[in-house]
Every structure is written in structure tokens, then in C-alpha cells.
């Protein structure tokens, strides 16, 4: 799956649609807080892609993520 067509809300193929046909996530969504990484942020030279925020608290922020090498969903903690 191409990282360009990756839904940042569920980490599935969004097929170039403005909103994901599976979860309804709108591609142009912004970070909910200035403390959060913007959806689509690339980490470690593109190895990981950061998606939507799953939760946050006193110890950090957890994001839905995608490992582009293993092609699987994961959690990214900041």
C-alpha cells in the first residue's frame, strides 16, 4: 500500500478519496492540539507514519501509527 493513500484514521487504503470509505476520517484533518504531531508526520526517514491521536495524558501522547517496512499498524508513543 502506498503511504500517499494511507488513511491516517485507520491505516487502511483510502483510495485517493477525500474521506476514508472505511472510517470516515477526513484526510485534511489537523492536529487537535498544538502539542500533538500533525497527522501524516514521518518518523525515522519514513519508516513510520503518525496517524490520529489515540490518547494523551500526563506521561505522553499515543498515536495510531504505521510501519512502512512491515506494512502493519502500531502504536507510537511520544
Residue 10: CATH number of its domain? 3.30.200
Residue 24 belongs to domain spanning: 3-77
Q: What is the pLDDT of residues 20-42, one digit of tens each?
A: 889 988 877 676 788 899 999 99
Q: What is the pLDDT of residue 78?
A: 93
29 vs 46 pLDDT, higher one: 46
Q: What is the pLDDT of residue 58?
A: 87
Long-range contacts, 44-51 (Cβ 8 Å, 24+): 46/3, 48/74, 48/76, 49/3, 49/6, 49/8, 50/8, 50/76, 51/7, 51/8, 51/9, 51/11
pLDDT classification of 1: cutoffs 50, 70, 90:
low
Task: Give the count of domains, the chain.
Answer: 1
pLDDT at 57 over 70: yes
Amino acid at each position: 500500500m502506498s503511504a500517499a493513500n494511507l488513511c491516517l484514521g485507520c491505516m487502511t487504503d483510502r483510495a485517493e478519496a477525500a474521506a476514508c470509505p472505511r472510517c470516515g476520517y477526513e484526510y485534511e484533518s489537523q492536529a487537535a492540539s498544538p502539542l500533538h504531531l500533525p497527522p501524516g508526520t514521518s518518523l525515522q526517514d519514513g519508516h513510520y507514519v503518525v496517524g490520529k491521536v489515540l490518547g494523551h495524558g500526563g506521561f505522553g501522547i499515543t498515536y495510531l501509527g504505521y510501519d512502512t517496512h512491515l506494512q502493519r499498524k502500531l502504536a507510537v508513543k511520544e
